[in-house]
């Protein structure tokens, strides 16, 4: 298993003048002074300002990047975000705790169930709601499937940007199969909203479990196929190796987390370090890289998909053992009663009415973070004891990844920008919220 980027052809290192690849970022100011510039120098002439995005296919969403170019070299890079800002945090304040679940799906729309889980876990922490074991296991299964889905998108879009067009179809056909599985379970391909406070909305049918297992059995061979296409590929290697290197110290200073941090050699995974939803009971490994370049980030994500498959298989084993068990808490302060009982019991009808109209969470603050495919996805929720939140802050890992683009890109060739954007991996729905 290739947990780091050892092996493969030796990289050709090109020393770029003023490269920001190692060491702290220095702020450079470039003032155009006509007398100083040698206009006959074909490589270093006038600075050119180039606008990349917001509708550029390689920016993975509506991200605009202002690049100041000196010939082929980027001397100044400034991301401009906010084109997809929909005011999700304000929406949470106006809708109330429960109705915001559907909006969390639309944050990182490549992994809606992961966002649901993160939000639910934060609310459960605030309300001290226990989750039954089977509910936790289903959540783990869904979160790991989400991680694979998001990593597949990373792999497909990054490789299509770097010229490996076939990969895009390979990864999307696999992703489509996960969609079909989720469709069978939740009834939706995207935007599932299947997590509730206290568990999940419905149990997994044995037939769906069988389908997921069948998919899991064939998926590792597909990952090998992806690797065959890319890992030793000369073009892929040259366009990713030694590009956008990050030291562990830089990662921490720039708040990077998740695969980007692990690629730099920091063994930091919230699933291991601060386990939630029973991750401490699963046997899996945390892949780490060595020098934190684009290639390491790729290698880490590939290995994470393999580990996710392992976790999913263990989760399915656990589901088999706990079949028929509770998957949703019966805490009637926050959890809707089953439909059948609402129609026969006055008590349950009152509970349902209270939860739908004004479900209040106790006064106080809580923060919960999960290891999403992009990094640490956290919800900081503050309640004043009423049915509407005082504040719901979404700690989006993608925003930090966008922030790191200038750190990695400045001083490098413009063509490296595509690798850097792809390997940092962000989704604008989450960045802009």
Partner 1 sequence: MSTQERVVAALAGIQHSLQQPRDGGLSIEIEASVVPQALAALRDRAAFDTNVFVTAIDRFPAEPRFTVCYAFLSTTHNDRVRVQARIPGEKPHIATITHLWPGTAYSERECFDMFGIVFDGHTGLKRLLMPQGYDHFPLRKEFPHQGIEPDRLYREWDQRRRERSPLRSESEA
Residue 297 lies near partner 1 (rule: CB under 8 A):
no
- Residue 424 CB, nearest distance to partner 1 (Å)? 13
User: Of 199, 378, 411, 422, which lies in the binding site for partner 1, with binding defined by CB under 8 A?
Assistant: 378
Question: Which is nearer to partner 1, 395 or 412 (by Cβ)?
Answer: 395
Q: Token pair of 58, please?
A: 């390689």
Using CB atoms within 10 Å of the CB of residue 418, give its burial: 0 to 12 exposed, 13 to 18 middle, 19+ buried: buried
Residue 367 lies near partner 1 (rule: CB under 8 A):
yes
- How many residues of this chain interact with partner 1, rule: CB under 8 A? 47
3-state secondary structure 274-304: CCCCCHHHCCCCCCCCCCCCHHHHHHHHHHH
Residue 201 lies near partner 1 (rule: CB under 8 A):
no
Question: Which is nearer to partner 1, 204 or 251 (by Cβ)?
Answer: 251
Region from 90-98, 139-147, 285-293, 336-344 binding partner 1, contact rule CB under 8 A: 90-98
Cis previous bond, 54, omega within 30: yes
- Residue 53 CB, nearest distance to partner 1 (Å)? 15
Q: How is 130-174 classified by DSSP, letter by letter?
A: ---HHHHHHHHHHHHHHHHHHHHHHHHHHHHHTT-HHHHHHHHHH
Query: Rounded distance, CA 30 to CA 65, Å?
Result: 18
Q: Site map for partner 1, 233-272, x if CB under 8 A?
A: -------------------xxxxxx--------x-x----
Residue 94 lies near partner 1 (rule: CB under 8 A):
yes
Query: Rounded distance, CA 265 to CA 309, Å?
Result: 22
Task: Return the DSSP state at 420.
Answer: H
106-165 binders of partner 1 (CB under 8 A): 125-126, 128
Element (H, E) at 70: strand 64-70
Region from 48-56, 189-197, 323-331, 358-366 binding partner 1, contact rule CB under 8 A: 358-366
198-230 burial code (b ≥16 CB/10 A, e <16): bbbbebbeeebbebbeebbeebeebbeebbebb
Residue 390 lies near partner 1 (rule: CB under 8 A):
yes
The conformational region for residue 289 under phi > 0 = left, psi -120 to 50 = alpha, else beta, is beta
Residue 196 lies near partner 1 (rule: CB under 8 A):
no
Task: Return the DSSP state at 59.
Answer: G
User: Of 274, 290, 313, 322, which lies in the binding site for partner 1, with binding defined by CB under 8 A?
Assistant: 274
CA-based end-to-end distance of the chain: 37
Q: Which of 253, 226, 245, 116 minimizes the C-alpha distance to 170?
A: 226
Q: Site map for partner 1, 394-433, x if CB under 8 A?
A: -x---xx-xxx---------------------------xx
- Residue 198 CB, nearest distance to partner 1 (Å)? 16
Which residues of this protein are in contact with partner 1, per CB under 8 A?
24-25, 27, 81-82, 85, 87, 89-90, 93-94, 125-126, 128, 252-257, 266, 268, 273-274, 362-369, 376, 378, 380, 382, 390-391, 393, 395, 399-400, 402-404, 432-433
């Amino acid at each position: 298993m290739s947990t780091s980027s050892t092996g493969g052809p030796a990289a050709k290192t090109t020393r770029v003048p003023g490269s920001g690849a190692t060491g702290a970022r220095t702020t450079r100011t470039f003032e155009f002074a006509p007398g100083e510039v040698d206009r006959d120098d074909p490589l270093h002439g006038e600075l050119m300002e180039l606008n990349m995005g917001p509708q550029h296919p390689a920016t993975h969403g509506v991200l605009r990047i202002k690049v100041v170019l000196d010939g082929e070299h980027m001397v100044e890079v400034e991301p401009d975000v906010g084109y997809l800002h929909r005011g999700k945090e304000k929406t949470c304040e106006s809708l109330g705790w429960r109705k915001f679940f559907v909006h969390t799906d639309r944050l990182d729309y490549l992994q809606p169930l992961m966002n649901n889980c993160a939000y639910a876990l934060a609310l459960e922490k605030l309300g001290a709601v226990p989750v039954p074991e089977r509910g936790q296991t289903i959540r783990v299964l869904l979160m790991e499937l989400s991680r694979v889905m998001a990593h597949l998108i990373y792999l497909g879009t990054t490789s299509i940007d770097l010229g490996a067009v076939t990969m895009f179809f390979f990864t999307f056909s696999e992703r489509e199969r996960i969609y079909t599985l989720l469709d069978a379970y939740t009834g939706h391909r995207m935007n599932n909203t299947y997590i509730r406070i206290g568990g999940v909305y419905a149990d997994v049918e044995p037939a769906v479990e069988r389908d997921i297992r069948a998919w899991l059995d064939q998926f590792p061979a597909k990952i090998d196929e992806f690797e065959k296409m890319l890992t030793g590929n000369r073009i892929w290697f040259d366009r990713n190796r030694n590009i956008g290197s990050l030291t562990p110290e830089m990662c921490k200073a720039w708040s990077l987390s998740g695969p980007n941090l692990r690629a730099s050699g920091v063994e930091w995974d919230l699933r291991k370090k601060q386990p939630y939803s029973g991750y401490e009971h699963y046997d899996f490994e945390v892949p780490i890289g060595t020098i934190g370049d684009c290639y390491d980030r790729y290698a880490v994500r590939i290995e994470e998909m393999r580990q996710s498959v392992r976790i999913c298989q263990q989760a399915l084993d656990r589901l088999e053992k706990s079949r028929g068990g509770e998957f949703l808490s019966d805490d009637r302060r926050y959890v809707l009663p089953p439909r059948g009982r609402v129609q026969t019991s006055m008590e349950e009808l009152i509970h349902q009415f209270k939860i739908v109209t004004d479900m209040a969470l106790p006064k106080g603050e809580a923060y919960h973070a999960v290891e999403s495919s992009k990094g640490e996805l956290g919800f900081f929720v503050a309640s004043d004891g009423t049915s509407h939140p005082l504040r719901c802050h979404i700690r989006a890992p993608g925003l930090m990844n966008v922030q790191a683009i200038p750190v990695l890109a400045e001083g490098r060739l413009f063509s490296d920008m595509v690798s850097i954007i792809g390997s940092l991996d962000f989704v604008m729905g989450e960045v802009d919220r």
